[in-house]
Structure 1
Amino acid sequence: MSLDLLRRGLKISHLRLLAELAGHSRLTDAAQVLGITQPAASRLIAEIERITGAEIYFRSGRGIELTDVGRKLAERCVRILQEFADAGRDIEQHQAGQSGHVSIGSVTGPAIEYVLPALRQIRIHSPEISISVEVGPSNSLAMMLEDGRLDFSISRVPVDEDPALFEEKPLLREPAVMIARIGHPLTRHETPLAADAFLPYDWVLPPVGAPIRQTVEQALRDAGLSLPGRVLTTSSFLFTLATIQQTNAVAPVARSVANSFANRPDGAPGSIAVLESRLPLSVETYSFLTRKGQVLTPVAQVVAQEVLRVITGHASLG
């Protein structure tokens, strides 16, 4: 028979304290955030331990550390309280008539190819919806999604994250290409370039473990080639672009991103060159991600449906 924590007296005040302890190493800091005294926080901890029949924390040189039971319980409390917050937003948005704020996360390629066109349509049909977009690597987006700072993301579950924390709807693979500055020596060669043509140059790559870096390294191994000898590592696409434009370095990026910067809307050349090559680059499938058990608010559903409509339309054309 499972332990019924509610029947045994677990309250919202207990959940709030445990959620704060997930991010604080001192009981006094967690108490201060909640606006209670340290003795009151200690009493709540004692009640939690009585209700659960387990130790929640132990003292260490850094203050306090949650036990395995305490950590697992705290993580659940964070998610439960986030659902309460989402429920409040749900009510507000129903009362306001489909207005409200939505926070989206996306890796770079889908952000430009799908999220941006979807937002254009939403601004036309639902101008009362405010939207923020966080573009970054999947590991950063996953943490933001877990913390409730994002409603959903178009990204991947990081290899070091528990997939059970997310609801995942696989979408599309992300083709990638090599890019360089306009006038780069490689732009004067006949295309497609040989896979080893890039090795004499500096490379700009995301951190080790990033999907596009893994893709490039595996493609070079499959071609029987060594890995790049000179690599500048950065997670910033803006810094990558600036480096490419000002040096002879080369970099792999999503094809949709490369095309956006290689061609202006009027058809004129852009600020970078796409280097077609025999190096096959296709990053692993990205997904539509939400927190496990999360119910999107009505306004988030409106935005999510439009983003997915654009992605599905592109897939059917392909």
Structure 2
Amino acid sequence: MSNSDPIERFFRSGLKLPHLRILVSLADLGQVTRVAAAFHVTQPAISKQIAEIEDALGVAVVNRVGNALELTGIGQVIVSCGREVLRHIELAKRDVSALASGTAGHVRVGAVVTIPEPLIANSVQLFIRRAPSASLSFAESTLDRLIRMMDDGELDIALGRNRIAGANSAQSTLKQEILHREPFVFVAGAHHPLGDPDRPTTWADLRGCRWITPMHGSPAYATLVEALAVHDLTPDPGAVESSSLALNVALIRSGDFVSILPMSVARPQVMRGNMRVLPLPPLQPLGEIVAYWRLGSTTPAAQLFNACLKEVSSDLLGERIEAG
């Protein structure tokens, strides 16, 4: 393909970021008037930009359907790739902004043991990249202990699985924010009798299985027991109680147990062929991950780490896997 080809010229020197933003916005909003309002410009200005794209490419990127514009196949390809380009530009902007601000200091983070490892590890890596002059410490404990550590000034941010009554009220300095929600799914190891992905599985098949359960008295244990009771099931007397995701994964992979896991923890194990997500309704109430902090006590480093947590949480939510 020669340099005189209009498509090659467009992607070499004619494509501009406003073009991508307009086409992506058009894909989302469907009408030029709405796109114009979103960009705070006139409708003819948006129409002119679209015409520039089509003139430069020599092909149509939209078709008019009544009062709406519909992307052509070529327009859809540009939008699909354009979303990823714009996402990377936004990430680069955040990295550059953080580095330029010279964020330093020390951030102290704590989490309960049931927080998925990728959320914490990826957030730490992102934080270190954006604030190479900052340092970080991390501790695992129960939520009540983590809250006491914040009260004593030993922690900046804590991560847990339960919303705390009264937090975010005008009378409380304790603030909380849900980072993400994901289902807890029923799983069995690949070598377990229920681990065959082609085997139909019902609630009755759980009868007599050996369980790994959350700790007695925990909200997770109560939710599991309640869900099983609806189907006249209870965890067997030989169940293992554990709040350690690492231990639970290892035991499930051994093939002797069924259990529940956060989807983000089960997903990579399923992809590696180590376990199966059983085709049973997930436990939705357990899926929240909550960040806690004290009003007025967060430093710039802690604020940056919180932003990294939100970004990584959003990325984790973008991945899905079907039970089967």
Compute the TM-score of the two structures, normalised by the length of structure 1. 0.57
Distance 1:284 1:245, change over 3 A: closer
Q: Distance between the aligned counterparts of 1:126 and 1:146, measured in 2?
A: 26
1:296 to partner: Cα distance = 0.3
User: What does residue 211 of structure 2 align with?
Assistant: 203
Aligned twin of 2:245? 237
1:133 maps to 2:138: yes
2:293 aligns with one of 290, 293, 310: 290
Task: Report if aligned partners of 2:159, 2:291 keep a CA contact under 8 Å in 1.
Answer: yes
Measure, in 2, the Cα distance between the counterparts of 1:241 and 1:132. 25
2:129 corresponds to: 124
1:146 to 143, 151, 158: 151
Letter in 1 for 2:290: S
2:246 & 2:115 partners in 1: Cα distance? 16
Residues 254/192 of structure 1: CA separation in 2 closer, same or farther (3 Å cut)? farther
Structure 1 residues 156 and 243: CA distance shift in structure 2, 3 A: closer
Cα distance change on mapping 1:198 and 1:189 into 2, 3 Å = farther
Question: Which of 97, 105, 109 is the matching residue for 1:104?
Answer: 109
Structure 1 position 276 matched with structure 2 position 278:
yes
Where do 5+ consecutive residues of structure 2 fail to align?
Answer: 1-100
Aligned length: 215
Partner secondary structure for residue 149 of structure 1: coil
**Quick one: which of 98, 102, 119 aligns to 1:114?**
119
SS at match of 1:114: helix
Letter in 2 for 1:205: T
For the 8 Å contact 1:106–1:153, the answer to whether it is kept is yes
How far apart, in 1, do the equivalents of 2:182 and 2:223 lie? 11
**SS of 2:106 mapped into structure 1:** strand
Number of the residue aligned with 1:310? 312
CA shift for structure 1 position 111: 4.0
Over the aligned positions, Cα root-mean-square deviation in angstroms equals 3.2
Which is further off, 307-316 or 194-203?
307-316
Percent identity reads 24
Q: What secondary structure, in the 3-state scheme, does the structure 1 residue paired with 2:191 have?
A: coil
After TM superposition, the score normalised by the length of structure 2 is 0.56
Instruction: Show the counterpart of 1:300.
Output: 302
The residue identity in structure 2 corresponding to 1:280 is P
* 2:223 paired with 1:221: no
Shift of 1:273: 0.2
Any idea what the Cα deviations from partners look like across 1:111-139, whole Å, max 9, x if unmatched? 43433322222232222222233345534
Distance 1:250 1:111, change over 3 A: closer
Query: 1:193 Cα deviation (Å)?
Result: 2.2
1:258 matched to 2:266 = yes
